[in-house]
Amino acid sequence: MLNVPFKTETKPVAGPRAPLDPGAVKLSDIVYAKIAGRIRSGEYSVDSRLPTENDLAEALGVSRPIVREALARLRNDGVVMSRRGSGTYVQRVQDTVPSRMPPLTSISDMKRCLEYRISLEGESAWHAARGAAEDRVVLTEAMARLDRDFEHKTLEPDNDFAFHHAVALATGNRFFHETMSSMRETIITAMQITPNFISPRSHDRLATLHKEHQAVYLAVMANDAEGARDAMRTHLTRAMQRVFDGL
């Protein structure tokens, strides 16, 4: 473990921990920025193990849940990865300005984007099912968020995208997850502008989407590469049908 402590910019207060002033910014955003900055500076190099949650919390003067939230975001961005029983490791140096796909400008663009995703994400799911179990931690977390959404009779576009991005992360191949990262705004915008994506009254559609996501997740976790590819391609093909049924 690297012994490079963080320095907080706040004045110490009485007690065992000197908490950062929350102000108008979330503490987890501050922690995220600090860890990402250390990675970009090389103090935490690629393939090195980060300090434990306890050590980071103590050094930054925040609680473990705050650190955990920041680390989860870094994992979701593909910057770090968890190895069961070993800790959290730096996977790549985060781009200062991440690349982005161009915005959708027409219905034809939306169709082409979904056709591209069927090919890309089908193969992504195939590789995820053949990847290392420790690369699937974020996928399990993303599926849990979809489960909670379903229990509350909703589906948040951010959580939907996070699941698809987590499948790409589970491949262990940065080209898959960096490509998905570049598509985030395009995909979420497409969900938000599609009249047929989700309506509060469409419980049957929510149930269908949830089953499709579960099918992908279960196939990946069962190391069923062909099943994972088929489940993802089926899900996105049906998504395209649902989109254009509503336009």
- Residue 149 domain-assigned (yes or no): yes
| Best CA proximity match to 116, nearest among 240, 24, 9 | 240
pLDDT tens by residue, 219-238: 999 999 999 999 999 999 99
Q: Are 46 and 92 in contact (CB under 8 A)?
A: yes
pTM of the full structure? 0.62
Integer Cα distance of 29 and 73 in angstroms? 9
Domain boundary among 76, 97, 118: 97
Domain span holding position 200: 107-245
* Regions in the chain scoring below 50 on pLDDT: 1-25, 96-98, 200-201, 247
pLDDT tens by residue, 112-126: 999 999 999 999 999
Q: Which CATH number belongs to the domain containing residue 40 in this structure?
A: 1.10.10.10
User: Would you call 180 helix, strand, or coil by DSSP?
Assistant: helix
Taking each helix axis from N to C end, the angle separating 225-245 and 107-130, rounded to the nearest 10 degrees, works out to: 160
DSSP strand pairing (80-83 vs 87-90):
antiparallel
